[in-house]
Structure formats: structure tokens, C-alpha cells
Amino acid sequence: MKQLKEMTKANIENRPPSQICTHCASTIEPFFIETIGWKFPSVCPPCDQELTEKEQKITSQKELHDLLQKSGLKGKLLTHAFSNFKHSESPQVFQLAKSYAITFITPDVHHGLMLFGKTGTGKTHLACAIANHIINQNRISVKFIKSIDLLFQIRRAMNINTDEELKFIEQLANCPLLIIDDLGSEKITDWAQQVFYKIIDDRDILGKPIIITTNIDIRDLANRIGERTASRLASMCKLVAMSSKDYRLKTK
């Protein structure tokens, strides 16, 4: 006990002088750690909290920037949000899509959506609004790609080597949410049918959701991409019919 008191007295006597915060120039008092000794930070606690929050904000902004860069969303697609969706003919579809985006963080959101309807009914806008919400609010990776671009990119990867092709397909199969826009608009060959089936089947096996937009219904889609692929999509997705009115022509 006597030795402990002597150590405590010595520690008090060896207390270093107060320091100046390098951030705000306020006074910082040192503190004693039993196993280490006297310590004092270079900044005061309020400044330390402020700097930590700034660092976290910068890290979060970088993470968001990287997610958006890798998402496939570009140009005006990045501006598509629920707040600027003006298709009054589809209020129920709007609420369904918004609810899907908001609840995507929960484990029970594993189904996908197939938005089908004529050109200009807002399918792509809603799909992008879902993607933008999930990326911006939840920092979850989403991949958006037009079906024809998907085939072009796989063909380009094939021209490099088989490994690159498989790597790209694996990326599409494994991302948390895949959105294929305008499915069925491209020229479908046997090879293209195999590609779509491979990606969709892999996502089904892994329990990964998919969102599809298309100008044709599920029966016509089956004639384009194959019955097996269309059947798999029908089992994975809620089929959502959009208004038959062309919003873009209406606004013009």
C-alpha cells in the first residue's frame, strides 16, 4: 500500500504541463494510464469528435462515389428518384416500388420485380429510383445494365478470354441487386438465351433478387428469351403491369 501511494505521489509530481490543441488552440489537460503513464491527445475532445465525424463523412462520400461509379447508372439515370416520378397513372406501382427500395435492407426482401408495359410508362425511371435509393441510403451495391449492353460486354469479354467472360457473368450473378433494363428488345440468339438463363438461374440459386423492365408481357418474353428463363423469372419476381399511356409523348 505504501509503495502504491509513493507511485501515485511520484506520478502526480511528474505530471506533464498542459498542452495546446493543434486544431483550436484550447488547453488540453494530460491524463494518466496506469500501465502506460501520462498521455495527452494532440487535439481536445470536442475537436477530436469533429475531426472523426469529418473523416467518417469523407469515407462515406468516397464509398458512395465508388458504388455509383460501379452501378452502371449514368447521366440522367442518376437523377431518377421517387420524388420526381410524375406518372400519376401508376400510383399503386409507385408505392410498391418505393416500398421495395425502403425495405430492401431487411432479410425478407429477396423477391424481384418485373415491370412491364409499353414505352414511356416509367419503367426505367422506377427501376433507377429503386437503385438510387438503395445505393444512397443503404450503401448497398446495385448493378444496372441494359440487356443489349449486357450482351455486348459479355461478347467483349469473350474476345479477351474465357476467364474474363466468366468473371463478368459472376459479377452479375453475385451482386446484391441486379437490374436488367429493356429485356427482350435485343436480337435474341441461342447464345443470348444461354447467357440470360445462366445469369438468372445463378441468381435464383443464390437467392439474389433481380429487377427486370420490359416492353412485353411474360408470354411474349418467353418467346424471346426462352421458356425456361421466363419461367424462372416469373417464379423470382412480382409481375407489375405499368400504365399503357406513354408519359413522354403526353408531356410533349
Give the model confidence (pLDDT) of 149-180 as tens digits: 999 999 888 887 778 888 899 999 999 999 99
Number of structural domains the chain divides into? 2
Please check whether residues 65 and 154 belong to one and the same domain: no
Query: Which pTM was predicted?
Result: 0.77
Q: Which of 45, 71, 97 is the last residue of a domain?
A: 71
The residue segments making up the domain with residue 36 are: 1-71
Please check whether residues 95 and 169 belong to one and the same domain: yes
pLDDT computed for residue 2 by the predictor: 43
Q: Which of 56, 71, 86 is the last residue of a domain?
A: 71
pLDDT computed for residue 206 by the predictor: 92
The residues facing 212 across adjacent strands are 114, 180
Please check whether residues 203 and 243 belong to one and the same domain: yes
pLDDT computed for residue 180 by the predictor: 97
Which residues in the chain show pLDDT less than 70?
1-13, 58-59, 87-89, 107-109, 244-252
**Gap between the Cα atoms of 198 and 204, Å rounded:** 10
- How much is the CA Rg of the chain, to the nearest whole Å? 28
Please check whether residues 118 and 218 belong to one and the same domain: yes
Please check whether residues 145 and 60 belong to one and the same domain: no
Please check whether residues 80 and 152 belong to one and the same domain: yes
pLDDT computed for residue 203 by the predictor: 94
List Cβ neighbours of 125 (8 Å cut-off, separation of 6 or more): 80, 85, 87
Please check whether residues 231 and 134 belong to one and the same domain: yes
pLDDT computed for residue 13 by the predictor: 61
**Gap between the Cα atoms of 36 and 18, Å rounded:** 18
End-to-end CA distance of the chain: 89
Please check whether residues 20 and 137 belong to one and the same domain: no
Please check whether residues 87 and 173 belong to one and the same domain: yes
70-108 burial, b if ≥16 CB within 10 A, otherwise e? ebbbeeebeebebeebebeebeebbebbbebbbebeeee
pLDDT computed for residue 76 by the predictor: 95
Please check whether residues 137 and 172 belong to one and the same domain: yes
pLDDT computed for residue 9 by the predictor: 53
